[in-house]
Amino acid sequence: MKIAVLMVLFLVQLSTQASNYKPKRDTLFGYPIGQPYYPRPHDVHYPSHAAEKAYNAHPDVYVPTSPGYEPDADRYAYAPGYQNYHQAGQPSAAGIPVFFPSSSGPDVPPPFPARAKPRYPSPNNIINFRAYSTVEQIDAYLDYISDQYPDITDVKTIGYSGEGRPIRMVRIHPRTVRRNSNKPKILVDAGIHAREWIAPAVALYMIQQLVENNDDHRNITEQLEWHIIPLLNPDGYAYSMTTDRMWRKNRSNTTNPYCSGVDLNRNFDLFFGGLGTSSDPCDETYTGKVPFSEPEARALRDYATSLSNVRLYLTLHSFGQFFLYPWGFGDVLPRDWRDLDKLGRVAQKALERVRGTKYRVGSSTNLLGAAAGGSDDWMKGRAGIKYSYTVELPGGGEKGFDLPASQILAVSQETWEALKTMGYFILEERRRHRKRRNPQAGKRLDDI
Ligand SMILES: [Zn+2]
């Protein structure tokens, strides 16, 4: 009897030890990273509009919504380099968050020698984060960084708006780093809806941090490429500044001479004209006559499809404080929705740390209701970008969209923390993938 008890104890001991010696799973922030790292194929197949029914039914693309799922958000740790901001984001005695990324040290020890050439911050009269910038100021700022930082930036015009304004994109990636078209990319746009002024402001802040403060963000600019379109709908934006503060759409002519403008975020070709859209040109959610009828939407589509290996797409909107992932066209979720949910919560945590602002994370249909034909759905469903999010920035003012200019800096800073953390997540995913494929890889940081 005694021997039997001892045997049992011995076996229990053995099994505990065995479980202790299990190889550790590949995890990030406590969650397994099991996703294959696949570049977007150049010959990505675009199903025809008629094929969408079959597409919807495809078992690899959709799974039914699981409303009971509530991940344990507290298990998320911080991204590398995050610790500095925890203190930096604390409110001062006056209650104003003291938070200047440039003064709180680099994200991670920079592996490269410091830049020899001194840099000067952009003059305040080009952009500052105390007032909303006009189209002309945004253009002037892009000219400024293209002129002053030619070794880090490429400023390109990716198309023209209906009224002929250039739609400009800044690619941020140092030229000194070995070129590799398969480098992971992050594509960001803002200002698709004209009145959501805080969105272009945050995009400009991102550009300023990545470019003018590049020494603090070397890892995420050398090993990733950022492609930022700060103002996708310049016509609508200009109109909202001069004529109608609550203008949302672009300014194109429609079939109704009394109502102009198409909702660019309903003009994309995935379930075009589906739920949450309107075929009436007088409505705020007018889809346009056909998918991609609008030059602004085409410019974004064409630019996105010209890039390979875009891992993360962010479209900045206001208002509501959400990180939304697909699908927006209906109450279904992508097969890999848990991955999107995870990264959304990583971003949410990073943002909340700065000054306590609360965001919610979920599919756009589940949190805001269906809205088909949006750019986020298209980027995931058609362009094959795994991580695709609509970021709904905070509201304020009288109607929500007219957030007071005094909030620009604080909102930009907290959002930047979240978006930067997403960059680190993509970087880490890349590193882990390469390590799995080839244990020698990742030794030279500039070789990734
Ligand atoms: Zn919007």
Tell me how far the alpha carbon of residue 26 lies from the centroid of ligand 1, in angstroms: 37
The residue segments making up the domain with residue 393 are 75-447
Cα 201 to Cα 305: distance, rounded to the nearest angstrom: 26
The answer on pLDDT for 120 being more than 70 is no
**Ligand 1 center from residue 190 Cα (angstroms):** 9
Which residues are known to be catalytic?
Answer: 392
Compute the distance from residue 171 Cα to the ligand 1 centre, in Å. 23
Q: How confident is the model at residue 407 (pLDDT cuts 50, 70, 90)?
A: very high
Give a yes or no: residue 238 inside a domain: yes
pLDDT at 31: 37
pLDDT in tens, 351-370: 999 999 999 999 999 999 99
Under 8 Å between Cβ of 298 and 264: no
Per-residue model confidence (pLDDT) at position 1: 59
How far away, in angstroms, is 62 Cα from ligand 1 center?
25
pLDDT digits (tens, 9 = 90+) for 318-328: 999 999 999 99
Residue 308, in any domain of the structure:
yes
Task: Report yes or no on 221 lying in a domain.
Answer: yes
CATH, residue 411: 3.40.630.10
- Has residue 131 been placed in a domain? yes
Look at residue 62 and tell me if it is in a domain.
no
3-state secondary structure the chain: CHHHHHHHHHHHHHHHHHHHCCCCCCEECCEECCCCCCCCCCCCCCCCHHHHHHHHHCCCCEEECCCCCCCCHHHCCCCCCCHHHHHHCCECCCCCECCCHHHHCCCCCCCCCCCCCCCCCCCCCCCCCCCCCCHHHHHHHHHHHHHHCCCCEEEEEEEECCCCCEEEEEEECCCCCCCCCCCCEEEEEECCCCCCCHHHHHHHHHHHHHHHCHHHHHHHHHCCEEEEECCCCHHHHHHHHHCCCCCCCCCCCCCCCCCCCCCHHHCCCCCCCCCCCECCCCCCCECCCCCCCCHHHHHHHHHHHHCCCEEEEEEEEECCCEEEECCCCCCEEECCHHHHHHHHHHHHHHHHHHHCCCCEEEEHHHHHCCCCCCHHHHHHHCCCCCEEEEEEECCECCCEECCCHHHHHHHHHHHHHHHHHHHHHHHHHHHHHHHHHCCCCCCCHHHC
Least confident of 94-98, 247-251, 410-414: 94-98
Number of domains in the chain: 1
| Distance between Cα 56 and ligand 1 center (Å) | 25
Mean of the per-residue pLDDT values of the chain: 78
In a domain, 396, yes or no: yes
CA 265 / ligand 1 centre spacing (Å): 8
Tell me the per-residue pLDDT of 200-220, one tens digit each, with 9 for 90 and over.
Answer: 999 999 999 999 999 899 999
CA torsion angle 397 400 403 404 (round to 10): 0
pLDDT (mean) for 333-344? 95
Asked whether residue 38 is domain-assigned, the answer is no
Share of the chain above pLDDT 70, in %: 70
What is the per-residue pLDDT for 404? 95
Task: State percent of the chain over pLDDT 90.
Answer: 64
Write phi, then psi, for 316 (nearest 5 degrees): -95, 125
Average pLDDT over residues 183-190: 96
How much is the average pLDDT of 231-254? Answer: 96
Q: Please tell me the predicted confidence (pLDDT) of residue 20.
A: 44
pLDDT in tens, 23-57: 333 444 443 333 333 323 332 333 333 344 444 44
Residue 33 lies in a domain: no
